[in-house]
Structure 1
Amino acid sequence: MSSNNIYQTPLSSRYASKEMAELFSPAMRFRTWRQLWLWLAMAEKQLGLPISDEAIAQMEAHLDLTDEDFAVAAEEEKRRRHDVMAHVHAFGQVAPAAAGIIHWGATSCYCTDNADLIFLQKGLDMLLPKLATVIDKLSKFAVEYKDLATLGYTHYQPAQLTTVGKRACLWIQDLLFDLRNLTRARNDLGFRGVKGTTGTQASFLAIFNGDHDKVQELDRLVTKLAGFEYAYPITSQTYSRKIDADTINALSSFGATAQRIGGDLRHLAASKEMEEPFEKDQIGSSAMAYKRNPMRSERMCSLGRHLSNLAKDALDTYSAQWFERTLDDSAIRRIDIPSSFLTADILLRILDNVVSGLVVYPAVINRRIKEELPFMATENFIMRMVALGASRQDAHEVIRVLSHEASAEVKMKGKDNDLIERIKKHEFFRPIWGEVDSLMDPKTFVGRAPEQVVQFVEKEVKEALAPWKEKISGEVSELNV
């Protein structure tokens, strides 16, 4: 049957990077199982169990599955209703010298859980450099526009001015929190190791005739072969699903950051102050040919919402485990773990693409400032009049009346804001008529925003990105669609 005739998740078929889609593919999953069985056999042989060199050699030669291997496993699973035993059977078919010792002493979670931990580790290793790259690019953007004054918003109403670069630093700071969270989740990962059916290692103690030291050494050897620094000292049949929740929570938090940034960019696009990249032949609307829709940012918000909500699944799955384990975690983890990593990867590709080509429109930004700045500048006018001997209360009252008159012209008649012209004509403000324009300079309204940008980038950002310096990419991620 053609792939066009069956449902495929858009995460892998439409959006994801090749390397992340491959990490969570069936081929990688079952190859990793075979690799784990090989490591177990190698360690058991090293510790004296009767496993032949031929068995090890045959296992090593057939780590990659063929189409026939998949067919054999599928047929066996159909009969046995057990995926792990189906693949033990399929592996034994191509490595007959090892057929009797594959999975020796292990439970299903030896391969399934340890493989998942390997995927969590490799997935985070893929994501972290991409996140560092986005932060690096956005930091350069922030420095470039550190002085460009723009309207700030509180309650989504015009507020004191900030700068384009300072606003970008708000996004960067949240991304730095995500970098910290994902790094911690990566560094905290351990290995389930060789623990047996309920985590007591009883089966391996039996194999080694009660030799506790050899059982501990087996656990250590397999953990080392898998590339982990340590194994969790306590497990049940599974590693604690708290670990999944911990990792997915960090990814979900990043999903919320992506939504936040995407939302700001969509609002800025609507006001025509800033836009995401728009390609030469890109179509914004099938009906309205003039449109330049912020489709990247909208996709970022959409997928960020999906990723944010996966945290609830992970927490529910953890809390629903009974005693040493229940199998109600299996199906949902097969969906949620790949989904969380694929979605995070896609969001980073979108973010990279967007921040690599942000378009700023200073003329529009300046026009919008001029529309609102007269109202914001009134405090400066009042303070200057007081400095020259006027009553603050009198100055405040005159400004209040003139502001309401100007506001009515804007709101009721659609005219330009003429508050400054009214002030320049009002006799009360004669002493500062010559200073009005200088008191209206946008640069005097942004406070320490430019200095904050430089200090933030030079200290916090530089320190956070130092471990990733060699892995930061200058290339621009291409979006699949």
Structure 2
Amino acid sequence: MEAYQTYQTPLSSYASKEMAHLFSTAHQSRTWRELWLTLAIAEKQLGLPISDEAIEQMKNNLDFTLEQFDIVKKEQVKRHHEVMSHIHTFGQVAPAAAGIIHLGATSCYVTDNADLMFMRTGLTYLLKSLAVLISRLSAFAMQYKALPTLGFTHFQPAQLTTVGKRATLWIQELLWDLRNIKRARDDIGFRGVKGPTGTQASFLVLFDGDHDKVEELEKLVATRSGFQYIYPVTSQTYSRKIDIDVLAPLASLGATAHKIATDLRLLANLKVVLFDVDANSDMIDIIGQEVEEPWESTQIGSSAMAYKRNPILSERVCSLSRHLMVLHQNALMSSSVQWFERTFDDSANRRITLPETFLTADTILSTLQKVCEGLVVYPKIIARRIVQELPFMATENIIMAIVKKGGDRQEAHEKLRVLSHEAAHQVKNFGLENDLIERVQNDPYFSPIHDELEQLLDPQTFIGRAPEQVDNFLKEWVEPALAEDELKGAVSAGGKVELNV
């Protein structure tokens, strides 16, 4: 009942269970306890008087019960300190360890190290999801590598490309995102055991001035926590510049996703429209769009307009991508105002920013995967649009053909200029079909090439090396990227995604 009475973030239901759990209170609380256990084991190993019973009680009480969460809440009301509330609660279920939990540490030992662990794991989740998305789009690109389609520059008709070649533009940016996210993940280190201002003074006291033992303690804790690399110097916190480095490639991913989804939204609107001029009617026959995102048989596009098939998934990707791109600004601003060894004005911000960033990125990838797994291409609609525009684009080919037959280039150019303007007038003012080629066929000047016109207008002759570029790109760039061990398993195991809503 409480869930219905209090605000819940929509991302909790949009994102994968794995990502939602990673940033959950339950997982955070267990991770803190694991870090305290790791510290105690390392301190005991290096000679501090910590009993076996204390270690065992800590091991046996890593998971929280609902009753313990209630205790934490009560402790927080009492102490106004989250970490100390958890320490006291842990001590109640592991009384033999109550006196040594958090020994020598400061709060950021658990909060910062845990955040680094969460971000590293979260980036790994995203890398695997991104690899699956790239795989799905690559299959799409291969399937339609040779299907001619109208290119657009400035969203105006341009030279032809292919449906598959256009998809490689999306894939290439996703590959760069894959590279950037992997770099950020692999660069994450461990804050370690540094003490209240990063000097390790408290641990030096615990080990009676033995610097070697303090260094060994940090290495032991880092290794047991899964890190080989420790930030050499920190203040009370790890530098918040690390958050910038982690969130930057995710913001960049948001830009990529927004571009892909926008292209799909525009393609979904590119309908072929015919005017029934002969019947002197205003009726319009809308044949369909070039590309459409998946549509369920019972799906409703509009509560008012029953015919609507809105690209809602692509719109969701654009919406969330804007949110993802903006979140990076929080990391920049928080890093810029960390006075000296630390201030606390980053805490509330990061509690929102870090989980929101990862859950948003996760949701974007799963939504894009859903779209790409069900993309519908309408070749006849694409061909129809090509037919409408190709005659104008073919004028240069026609001129060259006439010249080869002994004609004059300037004269042919002037003839085509006049005929093109006449055809454009019919299209723009009366909604008629583009009849430029018919006009060329009826003009005696072009009779030497009348039998070549069909060949000159073959769309396949206008796509250049697009199919070969798709083949080369997938073989030389995509396949090696997805062949890495940690990604190969994700691609082979990844089934079709099912969205919650």
Determine the structure 2 residue equivalent to 1:385. Answer: 402
> Paired residue for 2:423?
406
Task: Report the Cα offset of residue 141 of structure 1.
Answer: 0.8
The alignment partner of 1:153 has SS state of strand
Is residue 468 of structure 2 the alignment partner of residue 469 of structure 1?
A: no
Tell whether 2:450 aligns with 1:433. Answer: yes
Structure 1 residues 410-444: Cα deviation after superposition (integer angstroms, max 9, x where no partner): 00111000000011111221111111110000000
Aligned to 1:309: 326
Structure 1 residue 391, shift from structure 2 partner:
2.2
Residue correspondence of structure 1 range 90-109 to structure 2 within 5 A:
90-109=89-108
Distance in 2 of aligned mates of 1:240 and 1:428 = 76
Question: Structure 1 stretches of 5 or more lacking a match?
Answer: none
Return the offset for 1:80: 1.2
Counterpart-to-counterpart distance in 2, 1:390 and 1:214: 91
**Residue 2 of structure 2: aligned partner:** 2
Residues 330-370 of structure 1: CA deviation (Å, up to 9, x unaligned):
01100010000000110111111111111100000000000
Q: Which moved more, 1:170-179 or 1:469-478?
A: 469-478
**In structure 1, what is the Cα distance between the partners aligned to 2:482 and 2:494?**
14
Q: Which residue of 2 aligns with 1:54?
A: 53
C-alpha separation in 2, matches of 1:249 and 1:141:
28
Residues 216-295 of structure 1 aligned to structure 2 (within 5 Å): 216-271=215-270, 272-295=289-312
Q: Aligned AA for 1:240?
A: S
Q: Which amino acid aligns with 2:500?
A: N
Q: Output one character per residue of 1:181-228: Cα deviation in whole Å (capped at 9) or x when no partner.
A: 011011111110111111111110111011000000000000001001
TM-score, length-scaled by structure 2: 0.95
**Distance (whole Å) between structure 2 residues aligned to residue 427 and residue 315 of structure 1:** 69
| Corresponding residue of 1:479 | 499
Partner Cα separation in structure 2 for residue 305 and residue 353 of structure 1: 19
Separation in structure 2 between the aligned mates of residue 152 and residue 60 of structure 1, nearest angstrom: 62
Match of 1:397 in 2: 414
Instruction: Check if 1:323 corresponds to 2:343.
Output: no
The Cα offsets for residues 243-268 of structure 1, whole Å up to 9 and x where unpaired, read as 11111111111011111111011111
- The number of residue pairs the alignment matches comes to 480
The percent identity for this pair of structures is 63
SS in structure 1 of the partner of residue 64 of structure 2: coil
1:390 Cα shift? 2.0
User: What is the aligned partner in structure 1 of residue 209 from structure 2?
Assistant: 210
> Quick check: 1:133 aligned with 2:152?
no
| Corresponding letter in the other structure for 2:183 | R
Distance 2:375 2:431 in 1: 31
- Deviation track 1:389-418 (CA, whole Å, cap 9, x = no partner) reads 222221111111111111110001110000
Q: Which amino acid in structure 2 is aligned with residue 412 of structure 1?
A: N
What letter is aligned with 2:140? F
- Report which stretch shifted further, 384-393 or 41-50: 384-393
Which residue identity is paired with 2:206?
I
Q: Which residue of 1 aligns with 2:285?
A: none
The residue number in structure 1 matching 2:273 is none
Aligned residue for 1:327, secondary structure, equals: coil
Deviations 1:96-133 (A, max 9, x none): 10000000000010000000001001111111111001
Structure 1 segment 30-179 matched on structure 2, within 5 A: 30-179=29-178
Distance 2:401 2:235 in 1: 73
Q: CA deviation at 1:51?
A: 0.3
Tell me the secondary structure at the aligned position of residue 49 of structure 2: coil
Please give the alpha-carbon distance, in whole angstroms, between the structure 2 residues aligned to 1:173 and 1:316. 30
Aligned CA RMSD, in angstroms, stands at 0.9
Q: Which amino acid aligns with 1:155?
A: H
Matched position secondary structure for 2:149: strand
1:249 maps to a residue whose letter is A
Partner residue in 2 for 1:376:
393
For residue 416 of structure 1, the aligned residue among 416, 422, 433 is 433
Q: How does 1:338-353 map onto structure 2 within 5 Å?
A: 338-353=355-370
Q: How far is the alpha carbon of 1:387 from its aligned partner?
A: 2.2
The amino acid that maps onto 1:385 is: I
Q: Distance in 2 between matches of 1:215 and 1:434?
A: 88
* TM-score (normalizing by structure 1): 0.99
Partner residue, 2:316: 299
Runs of 4 or more above 4 Å deviation = none
Q: Secondary structure at the match of 1:85?
A: helix
Secondary structure, aligned partner of 1:328: coil
Taking the aligned partners of 2:209 and 2:416, their CA distance within structure 1 comes to 90
Question: CA shift at 1:39, angstroms?
Answer: 0.3
CA deviations on 1:57-77 (whole Å, 9 max, x unpaired) are 000111111111111111111
Q: What is residue 363 of structure 1 aligned with on the other side? A: 380
Distance 1:430 1:321 in 2: 78
Instruction: Specify the code of the residue in structure 2 equivalent to 1:480.
Output: N
Segments of 5+ residues of structure 2 without an aligned counterpart are 271-288
